[in-house]
Structure 1
Amino acid sequence: MSSTLTIHHLRKSQSERVVWLCEELGIPYNLECHDRVPPAMLAPESIRRLHWSGTAPVIQDGDITLAESGAIFEYILAKYGNGKLVLGPTHPKYADYLLWLHQANGTYMPAVTSVMLGRMKGDDDESPTQKVMQNRANANLQAMEKQLGTSAYLAGDELTAADCMSVFGLTTFRLFIPSDLTEYPNIVAWLQRVGQREAYKRAMQKGEPGLEPMLAAVPQPLAQ
Structure 2
Amino acid sequence: MMIVVHSLAYSRAVRVVWLLEEIGTPYDLRTYDRTEAYRAPETLKALHPLGKSPVIEDDGLVLAESSAVLRYVNEHYAGGRFAPEPGTQDHARHDEWLDGAEGSFARSIIASFWAARSGAEMEARMRDELARNMAYLNAVLSERRYLMGDGLTLADIQFAYLLAMAEKTGALAPYADVLTYWHRLSREPALRRALAKTGPMMPERL
TM above 0.5, yes or no, is yes
Let me know the Cα RMSD of the aligned residues: 2.5
1:192 aligns with 2:189: no
Identify the residue that residue 131 of structure 1 maps to in structure 2.
124
Contact kept, 8 Å, 2:112 with 2:169, in 1: the verdict is no
Contact kept, 8 Å, 1:25 with 1:84, in 2: the verdict is no
1:109 aligns with 2:106: yes
Superposition deviation, residue 121 in structure 1: 7.2
Identity of aligned residues (%): 31
Distance 2:146 2:117 in 1: 33
1:73 aligns with 2:73: no
Distance 2:192 2:121 in 1: 38
Identify the residue that residue 56 of structure 1 maps to in structure 2.
53
Identify the residue that residue 10 of structure 1 maps to in structure 2.
8
| Structure 1 residues 189 and 124, CA gap change in structure 2 (3 angstroms) | closer
Report the secondary structure of 2:136's partner residue: helix
Superposition deviation, residue 124 in structure 1: 4.2
Superposition deviation, residue 156 in structure 1: 0.7
Superposition deviation, residue 116 in structure 1: 4.4
Distance 2:38 2:152 in 1: 32
User: Whose helix fraction is larger, Structure 1's or Structure 2's?
Assistant: 2
| Structure 1 residues 106 and 180, CA gap change in structure 2 (3 angstroms) | closer
Contact kept, 8 Å, 2:9 with 2:31, in 1: the verdict is yes
Distance 1:87 1:7 in 2: 25
Deviations 1:61-108 (A, max 9, x none): 121111111111121112112121111246563343122111110111
Report the secondary structure of 2:152's partner residue: coil
Report the secondary structure of 1:181's partner residue: coil
Distance 1:24 1:133 in 2: 34
Contact kept, 8 Å, 1:85 with 1:159, in 2: the verdict is yes
| Structure 1 residues 91 and 170, CA gap change in structure 2 (3 angstroms) | same
Identify the residue that residue 136 of structure 2 maps to in structure 1.
143
Unaligned segments of structure 2, at least 5 residues: none
The alignment of Structure 1 onto Structure 2 pairs a total of residues equal to 206
1:45 aligns with 2:42: yes
Superposition deviation, residue 14 in structure 1: 1.2
Contact kept, 8 Å, 2:82 with 2:152, in 1: the verdict is yes
Distance 1:86 1:147 in 2: 18
Distance 2:10 2:113 in 1: 16
Deviations 1:121-153 (A, max 9, x none): 78643xxxx222222122111111111111100
Distance 2:149 2:103 in 1: 21
Report the secondary structure of 1:93's partner residue: helix
Unaligned segments of structure 1, at least 5 residues: 215-220
**Relative contact order (C-alpha < 8 Å, sep 6+): which is higher?**
2
Contact kept, 8 Å, 1:153 with 1:190, in 2: the verdict is yes
Superposition deviation, residue 196 in structure 1: 2.2
